Amino acid sequence: MTTTPTTAAVDSSPVGTPDPTRRPERRPQATTTAFLRTATPLLVVIVGLALFTGARNPAFLTGNNLQNILSQVAVLGILAAGQTFLLIGGQMDLSVGSLASLVAVLAAREFGAGWSPVAVVAVSLATGAAVGLLWGLIVAYLSVPPFILTLGGLSVFASLALVVSGNTPIPVPDGLSGWGFGTWLGLRAPVVMVLAVMLVWGLALHFSRFGRNTYALGSSRQATYLSGVPVRRLVVALFVLNSTLTAFGGLVLMARLGSGDPRSGSGLELTVIAVIVLGGAALSGGRGTMAGSALGVLVFGVISASLTFLHVPGAYQSLVSGGILIVAVVITAAADLRAGRAIGIRGENGLLATTFGSLLRRRPR
């Protein structure tokens, strides 16, 4: 799938005086070849783990278990859809996990107060959009690094979730139960929702002007501005989209758990970045695909399910799953680096030290 940045409407946002004589840096974009180079090792991991686990426990290779896996990673997939846009656009949001927890807690309290499902969904999505608008305005107009800004938001939202819930999960016996346990079109509701979100926004990413401008922004902000794209408004739109999808993910999380748990989204912020990078995105922006992010999410789900079916002790599951993810990323990055050298460019994901170093630096302590 070939994705190249194109021009759009004239920009009315002053972002400084660009130097038209400076040649903008060119970076490799998402192409069908690059996607296949990323997807092949991930598919090998998925198929290999599935066959290995299925040989020891036949229940693993069933349609029911596949739906179990997709249901378990539904929230991760919804968050990954929004974060994919952000990373491709050269941005990042580390507050998604705690924001999802806060939305789940607030929604649970609203249901407890007798609100209708429509009102709860509308207010929750509006809350997410408002957070994204705030992040986008600060990043776009005050030039605050999104990593620092959203890292602070992570702590704020996590604390608010604990305060609002009284540090105790808030039960929701009936609110949005169909979202968590219902069946739509013969599939479980969370499966339908994550597939729909990734399909719709994948099409938007790869076949709309908004998506092409997002690739252009991540590749070179200066060149995007010179081509007439309103870069500041685009940055704001990316954060609004991401936070709105995060709020939707928080509602799905609440529906699946049957409660608003203030700790339910803990750790999702790093996991979602890991699966997107695993799917071929570059932390520096300008590269990635929705299909790659979906494969990264599926790899994470298959690994987690395989460890459970193989009765691996919980104390070792993070060690094993982390090791498998590292191996998959290394294989993908090595192939990308070889391809980059072959055409005389520097492979983005081939910079393993930069990629893992950036992840480590972004890990909240």
pLDDT digits (tens, 9 = 90+) for 33-82: 777 877 888 899 899 999 999 999 999 989 899 999 999 999 999 999 99
- How many whole angstroms separate alpha carbon 1 and alpha carbon 33? 8
Residue 118 CB contacts under 8 Å (≥ 6 apart), including other chains? none
- How many whole angstroms separate alpha carbon 333 and alpha carbon 348? 8
Q: Quick check: 183 pLDDT over 60? A: yes
The residue among 70, 71, 65 whose CA lies nearest residue 309 is: 65
Burial class (CB in 10 A: 0-12, 13-18, 19+), 352: middle
Angle between helices 189-207 and 63-72 in degrees, nearest 10 = 70
Residue 119 CB contacts under 8 Å (≥ 6 apart), including other chains? 110
Q: What is the pTM of this model?
A: 0.82
Is the distance from CB of 235 to CB of 88 less than 8 angstroms?
no
Q: Quick check: 87 pLDDT over 90? A: yes
Q: Quick check: 359 pLDDT over 70? A: no
- Paired strand residues for 260: 170
| Structure tokens, 340 | 């980059």
Name the band, by pLDDT with cuts 50, 70 and 90, for residue 305: very high
Helix (H) or strand (E) holding 69: helix 63-72
Helix (H) or strand (E) holding 187: strand 187-188
Q: Quick check: 21 pLDDT over 70? A: no
* pLDDT for the residue 295: 94
pLDDT in tens, 145-176: 999 999 999 999 999 999 999 999 999 987 78
Distances (CA, A) of 240 to 121, 143, 166, 167, 257: 16, 17, 29, 28, 26
* pLDDT for the residue 340: 63
